[in-house]
Structure 1
């Protein structure tokens, strides 16, 4: 009985600790800083770098897992709003620690018209402060960065709620690009 209580207590402590780690906003990057460049594979097997979008606004969003309810909702809202986002001179780029094959299936299934990049070792998510690392489990935190045409971070959204996030981005792009 005592062993069970200790085990339950340990599991509860790990769950609380894990959630607190997951929900912590990034302190490493802030608005006005240069966005870290990266080199990652996309769902088609090509290689993409942040520099590929130089001269455009970039909505760089990190998400936990392909084909999960919240991630699907977020991706499909970006898909549905892509014309408005493009009209504001911006591109959408999704990053998670899933594989190229996983991204390819997710993008095809939901007809996603923007690149999904595979950060399988979590280095890019970590550079952006968007990596949840609990020993053997690594996932990207739901975090979005709006990067201006010069490659500077213009906005950071931590602990993103997928409901309506795309519209928040559109509204902020309108405000930011007015300058």
Structure 2
């Protein structure tokens, strides 16, 4: 088991050190642009339940990430944290989702002063529904993937293999373009 965890952490480090370019090509089992976003009911770092209804009428940035406290995931949460005022001004809410438990999310959010919900998908059902569940060495985690969901609950954009440092700025740019085209 120790070897599996080491391989998993190494893959996260390599992924953070050499992130792939974000694409708009979701895999076949991911919800596609124009489809209604799959439903979810998950607890945040404070133990409160979150559903899509909590974000009705607003854009929702729902980003999946592999693991609390890893290099790439810390970078990503901090860039969304730093851009949260701009995202809210643009009419968007942000939620981060991983398979970590509520306690881990609480510690992660406290350490990095995260001002938005981090949702615990400990049973991996939501990650599976969104087509982002994967594993390495027997360890399951969510692939780093972001969904931009419009105020009507439909998928507006999918970011696959995102760069954790650039994801927030990509979302802001695309959000402005999508709002301008409607």
Q: Tell me whether the two structures share a fold, i.e. TM-score over 0.5.
A: yes
Report the aligned-residue RMSD.
1.9
Deviations 1:2-59 (A, max 9, x none): xxxxxxxxx9xxx9xxx9xxx9942122100000010011100111111210100000
TM-score, normalised by the number of residues in structure 1:
0.85
Bigger RCO (CA 8 Å, 6+ sep):
2
The match for 1:86 is: 88
Question: 4+ residue stretches of structure 1 with deviation over 4 A?
Answer: none
1:1-179 equivalences under 5 Å are: 25-28=26-29, 29-134=31-136, 136-178=138-180, 179=182
Deviates more, 1:79-88 or 1:133-142: 133-142
Helix, strand or coil at the partner of 1:72: helix
Runs of at least 5 residues in structure 1 that lack an aligned partner in the other structure: 1-10
Helix, strand or coil at the partner of 1:37: coil
Q: Distance in 1 between matches of 2:136 and 2:70?
A: 20
Q: Distance in 1 between matches of 2:162 and 2:169?
A: 12
State which structure, 1 or 2, has the greater radius of gyration over its C-alpha atoms: 1
Q: Distance in 2 between matches of 1:47 and 1:90?
A: 19
Deviations 1:75-113 (A, max 9, x none): 000000001000100000000000000000000000000
Q: Across the two proteins, how many residue pairs are aligned to each other?
A: 160
Runs of at least 5 residues in structure 2 that lack an aligned partner in the other structure: 1-6
